[in-house]
Amino acid sequence: MHDDDLTTRPHRHFHLPSDSGLNTAEAAARPLPGTGRQATAETEAGLSPLALEIAQSLQTKTISPRVLVGSARLIDLAIIVLIGAATLSTSIVGATVAPWMPISALLVALILAAAIFQAADCYQIPVMRTALPQAGRIVTAWSLVAGVILVAGDYLMLPHLPESWLGLWYGLTLATLLIFRAVLSLFVQHWTRSGRLERRAIIVGGGETAADLIHEIEAQPDNDIRICGIFDDRGNDRSPANVAGYPKLGTVADLVQFGRIARIDMLIVTIPMRAEKRLVEFLQKLWVLPVDIRLSAHTDKMRFRERASSFIGTVPFVDVIDRPVADWDAISKRAFDLIAASLLVVPLAPVMLAVAAAIRLESKGPALFRQKRYGFNNEVIEVLKFRSMYHDLADPAARKAVTKDDPRVTRVGRFIRKASLDELPQLFNVLKGDLSLVGPRPHAVNAHTDERLWEQVVDGYFARHKVRPGVTGWAQINGWRGEVDTPEKIQKRVEYDIYYIENWSIFFDILILLKTPFALFNTENAY
């Protein structure tokens, strides 16, 4: 619509090469590692060469420990069930066995395995990083599961299953589990060495408070926090340039720019809660970033509700802001996008071919149009559209908004814009991963109202980029689509976008998709 063995863990401090005397312009021109794209001067303006160097070294995505542990658990249980089903089907051929008995055996094994594997700490990442200790835990846990089924079979309503089955199931499952866990340990070791299994954190606020917090975090066993630097608005006379071995990289305003480049997971604010005014000022600047924001409570003599607090080891934090659509939510949303977009592309292919043919027949130029727009975390992406303007009058930079009876728009263009058919190629952006099916609409990088860019019109505008933008969205189905010629219209769009981000669920996405065709009938502002 329109518009354990910790020796393999990487050193936590950042050391730049002695010849890394980059000036800001040189650092900004350097391609970002792992992306092949150039950093923009606008994004990096004001960052020091040291901050740029560190930000560019943090471009690789981290792996969610929660997702890794959950995936390992699911694979373990799938191995147990699939091998159990296969061996049961061969063992009971010709035997008179009630259908419920094999099923009950698998269910009992599944429940026992889930509980015993958890009790044996088979899903602790330090354990998963090892080979022999991990194998020992798996052998012990799976043997205990099989032993319970064998010894307590009568009490578990499993009295008449073939005796040969348990031995076959036990042996094949154990071998498969050991092979899987051996491979898993290699991957976990590699991800640990490359820093992808650590939560990257920035300390907001320096001085002795930050130093004490850093020492406490680093003293925690199996700590997965990697401190990447410190940002503080105070000068070096009140906040040292180096705290506990970590450099101060800039101000809080610089941190927002830093967070647009680096893949950061968490901001830890060390400002005392009694400094309410300063704390609120910091949070107003930082909430636009797609990260978890935690308030350090290690020096505050206060007790918090369990729901509102979290711990790194024994160090307490107040959970201020959680990153939206993270961990399993992000995986489920991406899976939904891939499946739904693939299913939509096939029936819509004839429509897209017809639109492309009509465009080419009416005017010269390509049928597709590419426009740079803001994507997730302010990254600039190229969005596909069907061309609705004359090729020589096209405005890829969106310097001038399309208005009613705009002479630049072709006859076919007017029709496809009103019907939002020009947005159909964005399904391929969804498959590529630049867009989601549902989310805040991506706006052109030069979008403006009253000669002001939209981020200058609405406070907190960039908070709508905390999730991947969408082909359709909550604002669009509520009537806020098309031309944005007043500050109120962009304000309303942002309000609806923020509501969507804060209330996201798969069912919310489905609701928006179902309502989208009906919203297209409202063409009042679609030119």
Domain check: are 495 and 376 in the same one? yes
Domain check: are 410 and 312 in the same one? no
The residues pairing with 267 across neighbouring beta strands, listed in sequence order, are: 202, 293
**What pLDDT, on a 0 to 100 scale, did the predictor assign at position 161?**
61
**What pLDDT, on a 0 to 100 scale, did the predictor assign at position 30?**
39
Domain check: are 366 and 421 in the same one? yes
Domain check: are 356 and 229 in the same one? no
**What pLDDT, on a 0 to 100 scale, did the predictor assign at position 446?**
72
Number of domains within the chain: 3
Cβ contact 440:497 at 8 Å? yes
CA–CA dist 258, 329 (Å, integer): 25
**What pLDDT, on a 0 to 100 scale, did the predictor assign at position 488?**
83
- Token digits of residue 321: 């802001």
Domain check: are 347 and 240 in the same one? no
Tokens 């063995």, residue? Answer: 5
Q: Do the domain assignments include residue 19?
A: yes
Domain check: are 168 and 223 in the same one? no
Domain check: are 126 and 38 in the same one? no
Question: pLDDT digits over 164-202, tens only?
Answer: 777 888 999 999 999 999 999 999 999 988 888 888 999
Half-sphere exposure of 56 (CA within 13 A, CB side): 25
pTM, two decimals, is 0.80
Q: Do the domain assignments include residue 524?
A: no
CA–CA dist 58, 196 (Å, integer): 10
Of the candidates 164, 193, 222, which is a domain's last residue?
A: 193
Q: Do the domain assignments include residue 30?
A: yes
Domain check: are 423 and 513 in the same one? yes
**What pLDDT, on a 0 to 100 scale, did the predictor assign at position 180?**
97
Helix (H, G, I), strand (E, B), or coil: what is residue 190? helix
Of the candidates 321, 350, 383, which is a domain's last residue?
A: 321
Q: Provide the H-helix boundaries in 419-462.
A: 426-432, 454-457
The total number of residues shown for the chain amounts to 527
Of the candidates 288, 321, 354, which is a domain's last residue?
A: 321
Domain check: are 280 and 429 in the same one? no
**What pLDDT, on a 0 to 100 scale, did the predictor assign at position 8?**
34
Domain check: are 29 and 104 in the same one? no
Q: Do the domain assignments include residue 236?
A: yes
**What pLDDT, on a 0 to 100 scale, did the predictor assign at position 92?**
57
CATH number of the domain encompassing residue 42: 3.40.50.720
Cβ contact 49:16 at 8 Å? no
Residue 525's nearest CA partner among 401, 397, 399 is: 401
Q: Do the domain assignments include residue 527?
A: no
Domain check: are 453 and 412 in the same one? yes
Residue 321's nearest CA partner among 276, 285, 361 is: 285
Domain containing 151: what range? 65-193
The residues pairing with 315 across neighbouring beta strands, listed in sequence order, are: 312
Domain check: are 383 and 480 in the same one? yes
Residue 327's nearest CA partner among 503, 28, 65, 16 is: 65
Question: pLDDT digits over 264-315, tens only?
Answer: 999 999 887 777 788 888 888 888 899 999 888 765 544 444 445 677 777 8
**What pLDDT, on a 0 to 100 scale, did the predictor assign at position 96?**
56
DSSP of 436-474, one letter per residue?
Answer: EEESSPPPBTT-EETTEEHHHHSTTGGGGGGS--EEE-H
Low-confidence residues in the chain, pLDDT < 70: 1-45, 89, 91-102, 152-163, 298-309, 395-401, 403, 448-452, 482-483, 485, 522-527
Residue 125's nearest CA partner among 216, 201, 199 is: 199
Q: Do the domain assignments include residue 525?
A: no
Q: Do the domain assignments include residue 213?
A: yes
Q: Do the domain assignments include residue 257?
A: yes
